[in-house]
Amino acid sequence: MLILPGCKKSKPSDDSSKNPGYSDDYFGFSDGACHTYNVTKTVEGITIEGTFVTEVEKIQEPAAPAGLEILKITQSYSSEALGPSLVNYYGKVKDSSGDNYYYYMLTTESGYKISYDEDDLIFVAPLKIGDKYLGIEIIREEEATVPFGSFTAFVARQKDSEIDATGWIVPYLGTVKSDITITATFEGETGTIEMSMELTSYTRPE
């Protein structure tokens, strides 16, 4: 019997377009939060469908420097054919003004580190059009409609010789939609992988 990944039971957020969530985190990464997405992956004309789930846990790390909040992000697909399960660790730091939050990648081969520098920077919240981080640029705002609802989202774009990716990010809810095309050459043959995801639910504990 196939057991699909899913969110633990918790109180659902308000799914209206005016109040997409009541999370205390700009990307929806509050402790215990869970995003569930429908996923479609196409490889050389063969399409696979399933689900993708992200679950968030705040790590209590006594050795962490003051002001660093460590978040464990567990990501899982309903099928190995869609992709591998992953665990990443993000660090969140508030600036001295209290107006911005800085997000850093803390993942290491053995787990996570408790230090960070500018090379680890992923995003700064709140997002602004024109922001650029790790090859990703915030290019505009537009309406995005997914099974979970309709929202005004920031559009993030990454494009290079191998990856063409677009993501739609809603403040205090997170990524609601993404489209990715990967082009790769193996043994002289060039092929593409296309993957799209749309948010179907977002929950967090009371």
The structure's pTM equals: 0.85
Q: What pLDDT does residue 184 have? A: 82
Q: With contact defined as beta carbons under 8 Å apart, do 87 and 11 qualify?
A: no
Topology given in CATH for the domain delimited by 34-203: YmcC-like fold (2.40.360)
Segment 9-24 mean pLDDT: 44
Spell out the domain ranges in the chain: 34-203
Q: With contact defined as beta carbons under 8 Å apart, do 129 and 139 qualify?
A: yes
> What is the tens place of the pLDDT at every residue in 152-182?
999 999 998 889 999 999 999 999 999 999 9
Identify the CA nearest to 94 among candidates 69, 118, 72, 117: 69
Is residue 189 very low, low, confident or very high in pLDDT (cuts 50, 70, 90)? Answer: confident
Q: In what order do the strands lie in the sheet with 34-43?
A: 121-125, 101-105, 86-94, 68-77, 46-59, 34-43, 189-203, 174-186, 163-170, 149-159, 136-146, 132-133
Structure tokens given for 201:
């639910």
